[in-house]
Amino acid sequence: MDTSGAPQRVRVTADPDWYAPAGIALGIRVGDLVFTSGQGPMDEHGTTVGKGDFEAQARQALANLALVLKNAGSGLDRVVKATVFVTDIARHGEAFARLRAEYFVPHTFAESFVEVSSLADPEWLIEIEALAVAG
């Protein structure tokens, strides 16, 4: 029994858990806060989808993020901070702005939109992590 008074850390999973083979959690819930790992454009079997297609990859990453949040007792509408990593802001920024408006309603959260030279898989064009409120 934990008597420290600290909130318990609970691993967020899915069935199947596409990050389990890598030894990392899809997310962690601590009290009413949910911290997700970066969600990329991979299906439930760990296969990258939409190779070369930014919108397909972004939709898959957003679907993965939504599922992780749901499994933690939260949702896209409860996100308070998102960090979006893309490999080419000039090329994909406008497309992601459209998808953000479609998936995040209301759009009332803090966000960092960052260009990186590479992601966890060299075929990925986008990865998204979030902090959300559960409960």
**What CATH number is attached to the domain comprising 46?**
3.30.1330.40
Confidence band (pLDDT; 50, 70, 90) for 2? low
Confidence band (pLDDT; 50, 70, 90) for 7? confident
Look at the pTM and tell me if it is higher than 0.95: no
2 part of a folded domain: no
1 part of a folded domain: no
- pLDDT at res. 107: 74
Q: Is the pLDDT of residue 1 over 60?
A: no
- pLDDT at res. 6: 80
Which strands sit side by side in the sheet containing 126-133, from one edge to the other? 9-12, 27-30, 33-36, 126-133, 79-86, 110-115
**What's the farthest any 2 CA atoms get from each other in the chain?**
52
Q: Is the pLDDT of residue 42 over 80?
A: yes
3 part of a folded domain: no
Name which of 38, 31, 91, 28 is nearest 61 in CA terms.
38
Domain count for the chain, please give it.
1
Pairing of strands 33-36, 27-30: antiparallel
4 part of a folded domain: no
68 part of a folded domain: yes
- pLDDT at res. 106: 77
Average pLDDT over residues 93-110: 92
Residue range(s) defining the domain that contains residue 16: 9-133
At 68-95, the pLDDT tens digits run 999 999 999 999 999 999 999 999 999 9
